Structure 1
Amino acid sequence: MAHPSQLGLQDAASSAMVKLLYFHDHTLMVLLMISSFVFYTIIILVTTKLTDKYLLDSQQIEVVWTFLPAFVLIMVALPSVRILYLADETTTPHLTIKTLGHQWYWSYEYTDFKDLTFDSYMVPTQDLAPGQFRLLEADHRMVVPESSLVRLLISADDVLHSWTVPSLGVKFDAVPGRLNQATFTVSRPGIYFGQCSEICGANHSFMPIVMEAIPLEHFETWSSLLLENA
């Protein structure tokens, strides 16, 4: 049975996702104003008794309904282009992780460390501990430091996959033979869940993504312990 917290998306945990939410609200208000204006115009046209059978054209109305939609498109396009630019902007990352999709699990390689690599499989339902989420928990989490710019190099070993974590605003395809690049900064510690969002085969629903953001000093301790046990 699904946990109540699984019925909705997690709160935004990166600046990119916060900007996407603001853009969603902005666009929704624009659509609401357009819908209200169209509905009001329809009501007026249906209920009014004023007619003019000699009316052939109106330059003023034609100018308005030409420039008004253009202005609305600009209001929507400029914030959208800004978000796309910021999402694709790549500066010097603090950490680079190579992510490889397989049928049906993920492999993570921390390229800034020697021999720091592991596979991440879904935890079977019968092995779940109390408080863990069914179909969302993985045996090895991808651990990153909070407030640090992380770069993902995403590819696949067999078929198309898609590395997706909604709370970070990250969704990039994993294509065999090609590297895709994504960057994000987690704003606060926490555990963030995602899943492969590309139909990649029979067990497509069983390759979750679990990312844990921790303070930098804890990340250094985690990486040291993992390397010692390798």
Structure 2
Amino acid sequence: QDGASPIMEQLIFFHDHTLMIMLMIITTVMYMMTTLLWNKHTSRFMLEGQLIETTWTIAPAIILVFIAMPSLRLLYLMDEIHNPAMTLKAVGHQWYWSYEYSDFTKLEFDSYMIPQDENQASTFRLLDTDNRIVLPMNSPIRLVVTAADVLHSWTIPSLGVKTDATPGRLNQTSFSINHPGILYGQCSEICGA
């Protein structure tokens, strides 16, 4: 699925940015290696070169800055939360998730995966559930995650959200949804849910 949140769109942009830097590095190194192998006018036995040593020490530092600055900005944006419109609590169990909307009414329900023999042709295998959570669009949402029994990891890849659920511990994350639609999530641990 395409990115459905501002954070996921930024993560995709950062991935492309880093990939372009890596492609430029690989192209430059391959060009230099090819030039050195096929050029007969250079000395292959050069023992020292102050300028080239300074260049290949400073250039990687500059490249690392160009990779680190967008990464740090993105980490800051992922952790920031201001006045969430709602809070959703998710509790991982060993074969299902329990959800609780606690801001408006005390609404709680369990969400089980649809068994394989009950799947329809229009649903995804092992991704669709009997009770879906409904979340508002263009609103900051706080997610509080915990587990009742074993380790879980609440994940919706198209939102760029992944939070570990540990028994006895509350983990919190936030996200916002840009596009309407059905977004599929899963547990990213080997837990059965």
Same fold (TM over 0.5): yes
Mapped pair 1:195 → 2:190: no
Mapped pair 1:109 → 2:92: no
Shift of 1:126: 2.3
Mapped pair 1:93 → 2:90: no
TM-score, normalised to structure 2, is 0.95
Pairwise CA RMSD of aligned residues? 1.3
Mapped pair 1:121 → 2:112: yes
Amino acid at match of 1:126: D
Q: 1:138 to 1:62 in 2, by over 3 A?
A: same
Amino acid at match of 1:58: G
Aligned to 2:2: 11
- Structure 2, unmatched stretches of 5+, are none
Separation (CA, whole Å) in 2 of partners of 1:192 and 1:69: 40
| Alignment counterpart, residue 24 of structure 1, candidates 9, 15, 25 | 15
Mapped pair 1:172 → 2:132: no
Separation (CA, whole Å) in 2 of partners of 1:153 and 1:82: 23
Q: 1:154 to 1:53 in 2, by over 3 A?
A: closer
Find the residue that maps to 1:46 and give its secondary structure. Answer: helix
Shift of 1:130: 4.5
Separation (CA, whole Å) in 1 of partners of 2:173 and 2:162: 8
Aligned to 2:71: 80
Shift of 1:179: 0.8
Structure with larger RCO (C-alpha < 8 A, sep 6+) = 2
* 1:151-230 correspondence to structure 2 within 5 Å: 151-200=142-191, 204=192, 207=193
Report the identity percentage. Answer: 54
Separation (CA, whole Å) in 2 of partners of 1:123 and 1:29: 41
Q: 1:48 to 1:190 in 2, by over 3 A?
A: same
Mapped pair 1:132 → 2:137: no
Find the residue that maps to 2:31 and give its secondary structure. Answer: helix
How far does the alpha carbon of each residue in 1:29-82 deviate from its partner, in whole angstroms, 9 at most, with x for none? 000000001111111111111243774311111111011000000000000000
| Alignment counterpart, residue 49 of structure 2, candidates 58, 73, 79 | 58
